[in-house]
Structure 1
């Protein structure tokens, strides 16, 4: 099979990318994606289905597709999800149709997902771009989680105990970006640079789902 050269050499748009942004709970994945939207990044941001209760300020269909546990189980049975997991007694999953429709139209796709979910996507789409969003320190991550006030102190410590296992999966990622608490635009800028570099690959990634 001959190597697939970048379409820009023939004056065509580059191949759409599937970009996976992952990292520990509380590291700021949502904040990064929100800032990318504010800056007008021309991507399709996949909205994850979630069975947990909607938090104050969250918008259904924008932050998550909030569904009942019963509906989520139907989605699993009907093979409507690319990936799903039960996390802390609640279900999260990625609807297949959003990714396929976006990539068919030539748009890049951004996935926000936990570390275990990223490992599943790696098996299904190894040519995706995998970015690990990491905290500057465990103390900073603890502070972020406590500020959310959505978990008890015991739950916060349970999440922090998982970070070592999550960091152990770093070799499965292509890039790591440190998200400092007061330097959000710096992290977003690094992600923009990664995506720009990927677009310029001589032999681009080819995604098939």
Structure 2
């Protein structure tokens, strides 16, 4: 049995990563693709993402005990990917993780064969989505939009443009995964 592939999904806030990954959760399993959940120090009901909510203390305990394959901090929160991902890969499962652009170098060190995936969208679509979710002020949205163009596309990335339907973006991602094998 050959090892599975790790797809490290990243992109700016408002690009629709969580929505595309939710679509993959429903449609990718038939093709042997699973999405790893993240462990986050954010309440379970916040963020619209399928994640495991942990207190700061529990997160730190798990990190100290070596229960995470990868951790990072962003926006005042702690994020982690569990060690179970390595087991799934060893058993031939293709795994998508919702990563951070800022933690890509660290992720590549931990998983040298990972395949980066950048989900992006037009500035207009991102601005509209950020405003609709109501978590950021106008100034915070402007700052996030400024970072979109400043971020270079990592070498070797699969780029998914999510300006249309979630189904189109999800199908494009699944197609890219299947063609890479």
Q: TM-score range by the shorter chain?
A: 0.7 to 0.9
Structure whose residues are more often strand by fraction: 2
* Partner residue of 1:22 out of 10, 21, 33: 10
Q: CA RMSD in A?
A: 2.1
| Structure 2 spans left out of the alignment, 5+ residues | none
Distance change in 2, residues 1:48/1:80 (3 Å): same
Task: Indicate the residue corresponding to 1:207 in structure 2.
Answer: none
Q: Which runs of 4+ in 1 moved over 6 A?
A: none
Distance 1:56 1:121 in 2: 25
Deviation at residue 57 of structure 1 after TM alignment: 8.8
TM-score using structure 2 length: 0.88
Q: Report how many residues are paired.
A: 179
Give how far 1:155 is off: 2.4
- Alpha-carbon shift at residue 40 of structure 1 (Å): 4.1
Q: Is the 8 A contact 2:116 2:154 kept in 1?
A: no
Q: How does 1:1-209 map to 2 (within 5 A)?
A: 15-41=3-29, 42-55=32-45, 63-96=50-83, 98-135=84-121, 137-165=122-150, 167-168=151-152, 170-180=153-163, 182-199=164-181
Report which of the two structures shows the higher radius of gyration computed on alpha carbons.
Answer: 1
Judge conservation of contact 2:118–2:158 (CA < 8 Å) in 1.
yes
Q: 1:138-167 deviations in whole A, cap 9, x for unaligned?
A: 1211111111112222322232232233x2
